[in-house]
Amino acid sequence: MGARARRFSTSLLAALAVASCARVGPPAEPAGPTERPVHGVIPLPSSVQLDPGDGFTVDSATVIFVPSGDPEAERIARYLSGLIGPSPERAPEVRVAAGPPPPGSISLATDLRGPVVGEEGYTLVVTADRITLRAQRPAGLFYGVQTLRQLLPPEVEYTAAYPRPLRVPAVRIADQPRFAWRGAMLDVARHFAPVEDVKRYIDLLALHKLNRLHLHLSDDQGWRIDIRSWPDLATHGGSTEVGGGPGGYYTQEQYADLVAYARDRFIVAVPEIDMPGHTNAALASYPELNCDGIAPPLYTGTEVGFSTLCVHSDTTYRFVDDVVREISALTPGPYFHVGGDEVEELTPEEYVRFIERVQEIVTSHGKRMVGWDEIAAADLTPGAVIQLWRPDTAHIEIIEAARRGASLVLSPADRIYLDMKYDSATVLGLTWAGVTDLRRAYDWDPATFLRGVAPSAILGVEAPLWAETVGNIRDIEHMAFPRLAAVAEVAWSPAESRSWSEFRTRLGAQAPRWSALGINFYRSPEVPWLPEALWWRGGER
Ligand code: TNX
């Protein structure tokens, strides 16, 4: 690391000024199979300056210091203490007090001023005698903690490891995200995912500074949330899944608990009820939602496009209103996703009229409507969000909708659908959009993806994980990692700092940490995964 390290001698203010113009570039040479990267932080921060001097050592005397009167900073300090401490008795003390932080402390405060680091940004300075994390807002502190976590050795992730000094390299970081929407979607409809598995996924999103969890809560094969005014949706519509398993659903308390768990990690939950298609589970639960008044049987296959709500009936809009109202009341975030994809049973006019009526319902409950890119055909109100998913069709309609004021979230299936196979030998997953290896997921730029759209219309990026072939958390992790780490970097890091060859080396350094966390990641041959032994040798880095 010596050649690339630069001693840092200027003030923090100068560092911030540097951060906004000069970004850390990729190393000149692609790394060999076991070369260690300069650091292993993913997503790459906006500005990193390593100091060749001594770093900080976290040991049993280390205190985490927060100024009094900032309960959010205190909460995040306790979260950091829990990450470091192998058990509650051995976690570093969190000291809340007035005055300057004592030497030997890790200090957290939201007193950073100036525009550089924004709502989610932070500065992190590690010297031999202290670690100083500053942000304007709590979210920035949380992301700074994730960076500090990745600078700590991977032993820190073993919850029962014997306490040992943990070394952090001397470094100055000033960092802020590129895009506001950095998302992941879980399809809990095709195969149900229990609350604990979703929480585990949320924790893994947080580690990568992702901030949206889109939950695909209904589809032909299952309805996954209790709606009190339409109880059979969950009890009947939620009673199976692809392949005929028992399915399941979240009670309203469980859903609220998930939303709160995400919010505590600065992740906004985006609920999706897919309509008017992908609705067989609802149609099977209530005959009156069908135009012929006959409920179809439950469905456990994987076809798409065959179901639709009866768009001419008032009952349908009463149903939509009830569902949107109940879920919106449980969801503090500003979004409600209405699906809107793959409708083959309606005319284009019927479809557009339906989406426009649903848009009114969603706005009447105080939410911004989000929908898959087919909704671009409708007259969208400013503030609506279009989620692009089709690789190359219909982009003209999307571009025009963006020009009229819609925002775009990019989820191109041939780049970042996490349910596409990595290669033809991958056992899980589908191939309809092609096979997407890690480099495909990484090597693209959301700002130049759609010609004719102003960069300001791009709200961000989201990686969906459809679950036709994904049955449990191990499968989820195998399809998501490492590609989700690539998506996190596409969404967070400055375009001009990103390089595939440098990313793959830095990613390789995650292997010991991911192993410690028990992540069932795919050992992609594109990555020089660092053997665990390299981190452990002498306890030194
Ligand atoms: C398309 S993407 C779908 C989903 C499938 C997925 C499988 C989208 C809006 N619709 O219903 O699960 O492909 O990759």
SS (H, E, C) 439-493: HHHHCCCHHHCCCCCCHHHEEEEEEEECCCCCCCHHHHHHHHCCHHHHHHHHHHC
Chain position carrying tokens 């848009």? 359
pLDDT at 96: 97
Residue of the CA atom closest to atom 2 of ligand 1: 389
Residue where a domain terminates, one of 495, 517, 536: 495
pLDDT at 321: 98
Residue of the CA atom closest to atom 6 of ligand 1: 466
Q: Is 171 in the same domain as 242?
A: no
Return the structure tokens found at 102.
Answer: 């004592």
Q: Is 245 in the same domain as 126?
A: no
Q: Is 373 in the same domain as 249?
A: yes
Which CATH number goes with the domain that contains 198?
3.20.20.80
The Cα–Cα gap between 254 and 188 comes to 14
The Cα–Cα gap between 349 and 324 comes to 23
pLDDT at 352: 98
Buried b (16+ CB within 10 A) or exposed e, 386-410: bbbbbeeeebebbbebbeeebbbbb
Ligand 1 pocket list (CB less than 6 A): 304, 341-342, 372, 389, 417, 419, 430, 466, 468
- Give the total number of structural domains in the chain: 2
Q: Is 237 in the same domain as 265?
A: yes
Residue of the CA atom closest to atom 9 of ligand 1: 341
Does residue 262 lie within any of the structural domains?
Answer: yes
Q: Which atom of ligand 1 is nearest to the CA of 420?
A: 14
The Cα–Cα gap between 47 and 24 comes to 6
pLDDT 10s digit of each residue in the chain, 541 long? 232 232 222 232 233 333 333 333 333 344 444 455 678 999 999 999 999 889 999 998 999 999 999 999 999 999 999 999 877 677 899 999 999 999 999 999 999 887 667 899 999 999 999 999 999 999 999 999 999 999 999 988 887 666 678 999 999 999 999 999 999 999 999 999 999 999 999 999 999 999 999 999 999 999 999 999 999 999 999 999 999 999 999 999 999 999 999 999 999 999 999 999 999 999 999 999 999 999 999 999 999 999 999 999 999 999 999 999 999 999 999 999 999 999 999 999 999 999 999 999 999 999 999 999 999 999 999 999 999 999 876 589 999 999 999 999 999 999 999 999 999 999 999 999 999 999 999 999 999 999 899 999 999 999 999 999 999 999 999 999 999 999 999 999 999 999 999 999 999 999 999 999 999 999 999 999 988 654 443 334 3
Return the structure tokens found at 300.
Answer: 């456990």
The residue segments making up the domain with residue 93 are 47-175
The string of pLDDT tens digits covering residues 343-361 is 999 999 999 999 999 999 9
pLDDT at 97: 95
Q: Is 159 in the same domain as 207?
A: no
pLDDT at 112: 87
pLDDT at 19: 33
Does residue 425 lie within any of the structural domains?
Answer: yes
pLDDT at 126: 97
Percentages (nearest 5) of helix, strand, coil residues in the chain? 35, 15, 45
Known catalytic membership, residue 342: yes
Does residue 67 lie within any of the structural domains?
Answer: yes
Q: Is 189 in the same domain as 60?
A: no
Q: Is 110 in the same domain as 187?
A: no
Does residue 342 lie within any of the structural domains?
Answer: yes
Residue where a domain terminates, one of 140, 175, 210: 175
Q: Is 129 in the same domain as 185?
A: no
Does residue 13 lie within any of the structural domains?
Answer: no
Which CATH number goes with the domain that contains 92?
3.30.379.10
Q: What predicted TM-score, i.e. pTM, was given to this entire model?
A: 0.92
Q: Is 112 in the same domain as 227?
A: no
Does residue 339 lie within any of the structural domains?
Answer: yes
pLDDT at 540: 40
Ligand 1: residue of 280, 341, 415 to mutate (most ligand atoms within 8 A of CB) is: 341
Does residue 218 lie within any of the structural domains?
Answer: yes
Residue where a domain terminates, one of 126, 158, 175: 175
Q: Which residues pair with 106 in a beta bridge?
A: 64, 131
pLDDT at 107: 98
Q: Is 124 in the same domain as 244?
A: no
Does residue 519 lie within any of the structural domains?
Answer: no
pLDDT at 92: 92
Which residue out of 342, 350, 397, 532 is catalytically annotated? 342
CA of 338 to the centre of ligand 1 (A): 14
The Cα–Cα gap between 204 and 481 comes to 10
Q: Is 377 in the same domain as 289?
A: yes
Q: Is 206 in the same domain as 222?
A: yes
